Structure 1
Amino acid sequence: MKLTFAGTGSAFCMAADNFQSNMVLETTPSGDEQSQRLLIDCGSDARHSLRNLGYMPNDFDAVYVSHLHSDHIGGLEWMALANYFVFDGHRTKLFAAHELLDPLWEHCLRGGLETSDHGNSQLSSYFDVVPLFAENGFDWKGLHMDVVPVAHIVTDENTMFSYGLFGHGKKQSFFLTTDAIFNPDAHMPLYRKADVIFQDCELGPRHSGVHAHYNELVTLPDEIKAKMWLYHYQAYDKPDAVADGFCGFIQPGQSFDLG
């Protein structure tokens, strides 16, 4: 099992050599088995980042949606229509927290996907929809993943959650934060339990308050930083993360063997 970062940039990344932070989880084939791939988030520039890795929409068995910002779901219309019209109706599973499914369709996808040549459609017309519940997690190709609600945007009126993943691999476990505020009290049990951590990390002079900023992450205990990789960064000059105790900044196209 390996995890490849199609891009490592923030939502507004404009770097010519980087894309939004979407990932490909791929089974390691044995014998004549065909590789199976789970796309973790499908952002607005997914058609470019996936093509850069040599993948087409029909190369995926499933897609996981962490939350409803466009750098995580903006490519789903493209994937749905490309699979339907270009790739002979290829269907992928769509894994998402059950709380996200209605707004994903009603507020994000319905306008472009409802009216089609086969009549009025719904989300299940294009994807095999699998609602997820945090207390159960889900299994994919022998890998169990816990679904972890993490606070992303916190206001007086509401909290927007992103749904991170804690994967239980054969060789090692991993915590993928997706998009999360700096919340060490809530995340520390997962940090300590994971063998490797993939942490979204904001750079630059402005702290948005919706992602963990590098200046906050650098205050974490040394034993946590020693297994933490950083991604979802802006195109600013990067500090020396290794010198500060981290594993480093993930590069676009970088892969990790998860067993």
Structure 2
Amino acid sequence: MEIQFLGTGSAFCLHNHQSNLIVKNNDQLLLVDAGGDIRFSLKNAGYHIQDIDALYISHLHNDHIGGMEYIALYTYFNPDQDPLKLFIHQTLINELWENALKAGLSSVQNKILTLQDYFDLHSIGSELLFEWQNIQFSLVPTPHIFNGTETVFTFGLMIQDMDSGYRIYLTGDTQFNPKKNKAAYDEADIVIHDCETSEFKSGVHSHYDEKNVLDSKVKRKTYLWHYQDNVIMDFDSWQKKSKKDGFRGFITKGARFVINKNGIEYKESY
């Protein structure tokens, strides 16, 4: 199994692409989230949407779904490509279609279409689990935003390679909540953590300063991504600081994890 980072930036990044990634196994590719710059980040990594077999959506912000209209239309009008499998928690489906995609996708010449016309929909229910290409994906819901009325959740992933048994915890966009995440931190062999690096804390992402108080045994297996452009502009200093503070470091665009029975290897960008 491989995990490749198409981008490592925040929603507004200009230099490093948004934080979407590819999981690869058995020569098949699953895309985790598809932000507005997905066609460019795929091209930069040497891929095209035609190479993708499946898509997982963690939550409904633009840097995670902004490329779905492109994917839907490209695959629908390509006679040589089947619809992508779409894995998504059941609570997100209606809002994804009605509030995000319907305006641009419901009408084509002489037809009215639905989400299922564009994607092979796999709704994930209370089991919070799906399997793909001998990989088990367990959904880990955590609070992202409280809008004054309700909590908006992101569905992170515990990704387990069934061949080797190794587990990778991808937090998704999440508020810092070490108590809620403790079980996932402890279970994972590697943690890929949302990491805000802006001067002012938004309160909806885990800020670097907050994570710096994590237990050393968690920090030793934690890589950081979804960071602001200030890291890119002074990457060596930020990387040195993160490692001095006990983290594994900031992930670079294009980097990969290679996971097999021999272990987990981190390889730098293309």
Which TM-score band (shorter chain)?
A: over 0.9
Equivalent in the alignment of 2:67:
75
> Percent sequence identity over matched residues?
41
Deviation of residue 232 (structure 1)?
0.0
Deviation at 1:84, TM superposition (A): 1.9
For residue 96 of structure 1, what is the aligned residue in structure 2? Answer: 88
**Partner residue, 1:130:** 122
Structure 1 residues 37 and 12, CA gap change in structure 2 (3 angstroms): same
Question: Equivalent of 2:169, from 162, 171, 175?
Answer: 175
Q: Which residue of 2 aligns with 1:152?
A: 144
Corresponding residue pairs, total? 251
- Return the letter of the residue paired with 2:195: C
TM-score in terms of structure 1 length: 0.94
Matching residue's letter, 2:19: S
Question: Are the equivalent residues in 1 in contact too, given 2:50–2:81 (CA < 8 A)?
Answer: no
Letter in 2 for 1:21: S
Alignment match of 1:142 (pick from 131, 134, 138)? 134
Per-residue deviation, 1:82 = 1.0
Structure 1 residues 193-202 or 130-139, which shifts more? 130-139
- Structure 1 stretch displaced more, 225-234 or 238-247: 238-247
Superposed displacement of residue 88, structure 1: 3.2
CA RMSD in angstroms, aligned pairs only: 1.2
| Map of 1:53 onto structure 2 | 45
1:134 and 1:190 map into 2 onto residues whose CA distance is 18
Between 69-78 and 236-245, report the one with greater CA deviation.
Answer: 236-245
Amino acid at match of 1:38: L
Do 1:36 and 1:60's aligned partners in 2 also have CA atoms closer than 8 Å?
yes
Q: Is 2:256 aligned against 1:255?
A: yes
Q: Please name the residue that 2:190 is paired with.
A: 196
The structure with the greater share of residues assigned to helix is 2
1:163 aligns with 2:164: no
Give distance in 1, aligned partners of 2:110 and 2:194. Answer: 40
Normalised by the length of structure 2, the TM-score is: 0.90
Which segment is superposed worse, 191-200 or 236-245?
236-245
* Residues 58 and 87 in structure 1, CA contact (< 8 A), matched pair in contact too: no
SS of residue in 2 equivalent to 1:100: helix
- What is the Cα deviation at residue 91 of structure 1? 1.2
Contact 1:173/1:258 (CA < 8 Å) preserved in 2? no
**Which 4+ runs in 1 deviate beyond 3 A?**
86-89
* Compared CA separation, residues 212 and 232, structure 1 to 2 (3 A): same
Give the equivalent residue in structure 1 for 2:209. 215
Q: What is the CA distance between 1:158 and its match in structure 2?
A: 1.3
In the TM superposition, what is the alpha-carbon distance from 1:134 to its structure 2 partner? 4.3
The answer to whether the 8 A contact 1:201-1:214 is kept is yes
Residue equivalent to 1:8: 8
In the alignment, structure 1 residue 23 sits paired with structure 2 residue 21: yes
Residue 21 of structure 1: SS of its match in structure 2? coil
Q: Distance in 2 between matches of 1:160 and 1:108?
A: 16
Shift of 1:63: 0.2
3-state DSSP of counterpart to 1:236: helix
Task: Tell me the CA shift for residue 174 of structure 1.
Answer: 1.0
SS of residue matched to 1:180: coil
The answer (yes or no) to whether the contact 1:58–1:90 under 8 Å persists in 2 is no
Say which SS state the counterpart of residue 244 (structure 2) adopts. coil
